[in-house]
Amino acid sequence: MTVILLALGAACCLGLGFVFQQAAAQHAPMKDFLSVRLLLDLVRMPLWVAGIGLMVAGMALGAVALGMGDITLVEPLLATNLLFAMALSRRLTRQRLGRTGWAGLWLLAGGVTAFIVAGRPQGGRTSADQTWQWLIMGMVLGTALVLAAVAKRERVHVSLEAALLGVAAGLLYGLQDALTRISGEHFGRGGWGALLTSWQPYAIVVLGVLALVLVQSAFESAPLRLSLPALTAAQPLAGIACGVGFLGDRLQVTAGALAWEVAGIVAVVAGIVLIGSHPAMPPGAGRREDVRELEPR
């Protein structure tokens, strides 16, 4: 129960933080798209700093949850950050949930519950097979970089561009969560000495900065509903892949359990898409989409 509460607290901070960040990022200059300079422009905006503060708090709570629980349990719960983003956006826009909103809410909540109940995630030891670990991490990182490269191409439409950047950032955040879990294991075994002499903490920082640039560029270029659902769906999928692939997490593998696990993941993704497309989500860039299409890179 403590792990669940920590993960939900992290999701709340992340969801609210994303709304604040997007509200500020839409006012950033487009010339800094997919550039570290974008962060230097945004850091001067109080609303964005507040959003980052909430995101950092959410990541800290998520790290504690990952240290106490299994990544295959924590990641689906972190996906509920979209519900908290939706709640704040609904208050700001005064839009009613309607059938679409309620359907998305129940699909997301029900999908998370079905996956956890059917899968019964259990932790284990990190795999000693470094080849398998590097292969999975390379696939996740490589996919994220390819998506970011495609999004940067001049012919990509702004809505697809934002979705691709959202997926890329979500994959990096999922990989970051897996490395956070490993860092916690190093700290538990050898304290600060073991933690600071391992490569994972430094990789976490690099992944965090790269993911932040991607997600802020997505927030800058298009409405929140085009990028946040993609990010929210990709992060738990990457985290679960890492958890089962090399962190030693185990799920029930009976035919019935697998069917419910797959159904739960499908329901989570469907709920994320429905909530993300709801009118209550901030319109964000608005007319900037048309400008974005005509602006040379």
What are the angstrom distances between the C-alpha of 232 and each of 42, 130, 223, 276? 22, 28, 15, 10
Query: What pLDDT score was predicted for residue 124?
Result: 63
Q: What is the pLDDT of residue 282?
A: 58
Q: 250: which strand partners?
A: 122
Give the tens place of pLDDT for each residue, 87-109.
777 776 676 767 777 787 788 87
Please choose, from the candidates 165, 170, 169, 171, the residue with its C-alpha nearest in 3D space to the C-alpha of residue 152: 165
pLDDT at 247: 80
Question: How confident is the model over 35-52, as pLDDT tens digits?
Answer: 777 788 888 888 889 999
Q: How confident is the model at residue 291 (pLDDT cuts 50, 70, 90)?
A: very low
pLDDT at site 43: 84
Residue 254: φ, ψ to 5° = -70, 160
Q: What are the start-end ranges of the H helices in 126-254?
A: 130-152, 158-196, 200-221, 224-245
Write the CA distances from 104 to 41, 109, 110, 276, integer angstroms.
35, 9, 10, 9
Confidence of residue 237 (pLDDT cuts 50, 70, 90): confident
Picking from 200, 202, 185, 148, the residue whose alpha carbon sits closest to that of residue 170 is 148
Cβ atoms of residues 51 and 245 within 8 Å: no
Domain range summary for the chain, segments of one domain joined by +: 1-96, 126-251
Examine the pLDDT at 288 and tell me if it is beyond 50.
no
Vertex 154: Cα angle to 149 and 159 (nearest 5): 80
The better pLDDT of the pair 34, 181 is held by 181
Q: Residue 289 has what pLDDT?
A: 44
Confidence check: pLDDT of 287 > 70: no
Instruction: Judge whether residue 70 has pLDDT over 60.
Output: yes
pLDDT on residue 290: 44
SS3 1: coil
Taking 70 as the threshold, does the pLDDT of residue 184 lie above it?
Answer: yes
**pLDDT of 264 strictly over 60:** yes
Question: What span, in angstroms and rounded, lies between the C-alpha atoms of 54 and 8?
Answer: 13
Mean pLDDT of 191-201: 89
The whole-number pLDDT of residue 225 equals: 73
More confident residue, 260 or 105: 260
C-beta neighbour count of 37 within 10 angstroms: 14
pLDDT bracket for residue 280 (50, 70, 90): low
Distance of alpha carbon 24 from alpha carbon 14, whole angstroms: 15
Identity (one letter) of the amino acid at 139? M
User: 114: pLDDT confidence band, cut at 50, 70 and 90?
Assistant: confident
**Which residues make Cβ contacts (< 8 Å) with residue 236, sequence separation at least 6?**
75, 76, 78, 79, 174, 268
Structure tokens at 97: 């949930």
What average pLDDT does the structure give for the chain? 80
Inter-residue contact 34 to 148 (CB < 8 Å): yes
pLDDT category, 171, cuts 50, 70, 90? very high
φ, ψ of residue 120 to 5 degrees: the values are 45, 60
Residue with tokens 């487009």: 30
**CA–CA distance, 164 with 168 (Å, rounded to integer):** 6
For 121-125, what is the mean pLDDT?
Answer: 67
| Integer-rounded Cα radius of gyration of the chain | 18
How many Cα atoms sit within 13 Å of 155 on the Cβ side?
0
